[in-house]
Every structure is written in structure tokens, then in C-alpha cells.
Amino acid sequence: MNLLALPAFTDNYIWMLHDGHRALVVDPGDAQPVLHALQQHGLQLEAILVTHHHADHVGGVTVLREATGASVYGPARERIPEPLRRLSQGDRVTALGLEFAVIDVPGHTAGHIAYYCADYEGAPLLFCGDTLFSGGCGRLFEGTPAQMLASLSALAALPGATRVCCTHEYTLGNLKFARAVEPDNTALAQYQAQCVALRAADQPTLPSSIALELQINPFLRTRQATVQDAARAFDATTSDEASVLGALRTWKNQF
């Protein structure tokens, strides 16, 4: 099985899994990178997994469905091009012989979902859309800080070895902000240097892992005193964990 990050637009990744014959893709905002990869590798597209309704995640769905006959799966409570199988917490999808559990992760959008495979070649795999980024999280367009906190907490509880496949190459910007929150975090400084080198070589910084994100991502570290103190320095009204996350998100928006 092969895991590919297909670049799209300026900073999107369309994730593709294939076994040399069949493929699935996640959040194809643009059909062309997918069609090119299918032709290049001689693949038949079997499934399209969608995490949320934003155009840069669904823009290529209709073209790909009509060109390949692939089955489409997406969130139950969002506007996704029909026809598709609508999914919510506890549902499961099987494609390429892999089983994906659906996790509700509202916050970025109201009905955002993630796909979790407990065993992909010996380790778990997570397609999290725009909920969790390496070093950051999605903007709160439709949800609340409390919802995003609950969603990120659900993802943080996954096994540490889980590979985190985010859909944007936002890592360097996120880590610059994370260093402002925790300037003395040595794991963060080391990871930032690694990611700078990867991007200089035109390589993706992804996938990350849950274990790594727990060390360096301030949005997963809202219980840490260093993160809470930084959030309160930005917004003196910050009190509980949800308000810490809200303060961090507002700070990041202005950063």
C-alpha cells in the first residue's frame, strides 16, 4: 500500500492511498492532480472520503465521481455534492481492504468528520481534514472553542503512533506561532529546524504523529502551565481550558 500527498492549489494536500491497482483519495478539492496520479500509476479510483464542505476539499468530487464511478463518503450534516453515503460518529467505511472509523470533530465547520484506520501497515492512520494541523488547528468558522477542544481531545487520545494526515502545508507558520507561545520548548525548536529543512528541499512536513503533536502543538497542550500562562498574557479573561484554546486561536488569527 502506498500513501501519497498530492499537492493542490497553493498549500493543500489531497491524500491518496493505493495498492498498485485501486485507490482512494481524501478531500479532492481539485480533480486534476488526482486524475494525473491515477493515469500515472495505472489506478482505478474506488472511494472518495470527504471531511467537510469547504470548496478546496470538495471541488473535484463531482468530476472524479463521473470520470471513475468512485463511491463518495462524507459528513452527515454538511453540504456535499450528491450522491454520497453520509457518515457520523461510530460509522465505518471499508475501502482497499482497510476499515476507517468515523469521528465527529466539529469546530472548523459544524459537521466536520475525521477518518481513523487502526492498522495501516502496522500503525494507525488519521485523515483529519482541517481540524488538526501540525503545530496548529483549524480556524473556528462554524464552531466554538469548546467544540474544538472536545474534537482535538478526541484526536489527542488516539495512539501516539497514529500518523496524522492534515490537508494543508501550514506547518512552518504554525510552528512560528507555537514558538511564541512556548519559546523554551526544546522539542518544538528541534521539530521546527527539521521542518525548515524539509521545506527547503521541497518535501512535505506531513504526515506528523499524535505523539509528536502532543509535544509541540499548543492547541493540544492547553493543560500545560506554560501554554495557559501565555494565553492569559494575551487575554487576561482566560480561565478554563476552552477559553485557553479560544485565546490561542484568536491570537493565532492575529499573529
| CA–CA distances in Å: residue 161 to residues 8, 22, 222 | 27, 26, 21
The catalytically annotated residue of 168, 202, 229, 235 is 168
The catalytically annotated residue of 27, 30, 104, 130 is 130
**Placement of cell 481513523 in the chain:** 116
The catalytically annotated residue of 18, 53, 57, 112 is 57
- Rounded Cα–Cα distance for residues 39 and 96 (Å): 18
- Rounded Cα–Cα distance for residues 163 and 166 (Å): 10
- Identify whether 27 is a catalytic site residue: no
Which SS3 state, helix, strand or coil, does residue 199 take?
helix
Q: What is the largest CA-CA distance in the chain?
A: 57
The catalytically annotated residue of 53, 56, 104, 112 is 56
Encoded amino acid at 1, one letter:
M
- Identify whether 91 is a catalytic site residue: no
**Placement of cell 490537508 in the chain:** 167
Are 76 and 117 within 8 A, CB to CB?
no
- Rounded Cα–Cα distance for residues 106 and 152 (Å): 9
Q: Which triple of cell numbers denotes residue 118? A: 487502526
- Identify whether 54 is a catalytic site residue: yes
How many CB atoms neighbour CB 146 within 10 A? Answer: 15
Ramachandran angles phi, psi of 90, nearest 5°: 95, -15
The catalytically annotated residue of 18, 27, 30, 52 is 52
**Placement of cell 468530487 in the chain:** 61
- Identify whether 202 is a catalytic site residue: no
**Placement of cell 459537521 in the chain:** 111
Encoded amino acid at 36, one letter:
H
- Identify whether 36 is a catalytic site residue: no
Q: Which triple of cell numbers denotes residue 110? A: 459544524
The catalytically annotated residue of 27, 54, 104, 112 is 54
The catalytically annotated residue of 18, 53, 108, 112 is 108
Give catalytic residue positions: 52, 54, 56-57, 108, 130, 168
